[in-house]
Amino acid sequence: MSGVFSHDYKAFPFLVFSASHIAMIMLFAAAAVLLFIFRKGLLRLDQKFRLYMFMLLFTLELLYHLWLYLGGYWDISFTLPLQLCSISLVLCLVLLATKSSAVFQLVYYLGVTGALMAILTPELFLGFPHFRYFQFFITHNLIICTGLYFVFVHQFRPTGKGVLNSFIFLNICAGAAFFANKLTGGNYMFLSRKPENASLLDYFGPYSYYILTLEIAAVFMFLLLLLPFKILDKNKVERRNLHETCKNRD
């Protein structure tokens, strides 16, 4: 394979916070804003739009595995769906197909957290205009947008119970990844070592202490994602109480 589908890592270097990286961060921000602005119109096109998102996610992931296989790089040590974003991608496909509120909670907390971290500090070794560059960023943007789509368009709401269930599910997945790492020599969910490139894990302490720090950070991020909705709910209650008080006075 040659050109933008090659495995020539020197020909297509990726630099964190380069112009091409910042462009994809801006793409995510623009997509989120557009989802909110056109939420009512998207609801009318819901079935088709969910199908388009499903097919795009599925096709990009399939093409990634084909690219690895045809290039002779497909290996069980890193291609199983046991990375956080790979797990989130599968959950997104299930959510898009079923509109399950339980799966939404997992996508919102795990998917948004993992994909956002991946976009900001990507473990990526091929840059613009390589196929992997576009596949990586579009896939991770779609994971976040799937969660936001169900918030903006379907009015799904994350819950405190969702935080607990997501944390439990995360640790079940981590257990599976741990054993997979032992069997394959892989580094699923970065439970064997830190990623080779610079990432947020560099600030979380040495191995294996950073795993505990990751657990704490996950809970913090989940609660941070829940916070806006708690504030909105509190404001609604206060406005309702104020309205009732004014009505009683009249």
Each residue's pLDDT tens digit, 121-130:
898 999 999 9
Tokens found for residue 210: 């950073």
**Cis omega before residue 18 (within 30°)?**
no
3-state class of 53 per DSSP?
A: helix
Are 107 and 164 contacting, i.e. CB atoms less than 8 angstroms apart? Answer: no
Portion of the chain with pLDDT greater than 70, in percent: 95
CA-CA distance, 140 to 88, in Å (whole number)? 9
Give residue 2's pLDDT: 72
Residue located via tokens 């070592």: 193
pLDDT surpassing 70 at residue 244: no
CA-CA distance, 241 to 101, in Å (whole number)? 29
3-state class of 191 per DSSP?
A: coil
The stretch 209-233 carries a mean pLDDT of 93
Structural domain that includes position 16: 3-249
**Cis omega before residue 129 (within 30°)?**
yes
pLDDT surpassing 70 at residue 247: no
3-state class of 95 per DSSP?
A: helix
CA-CA distance, 147 to 152, in Å (whole number)? 9
**What is the pTM assigned to this prediction?**
0.93
Count of domains forming the chain: 1
Tokens found for residue 58: 């599925």
pLDDT in tens, 82-117: 999 999 999 999 999 999 999 999 999 999 999 999
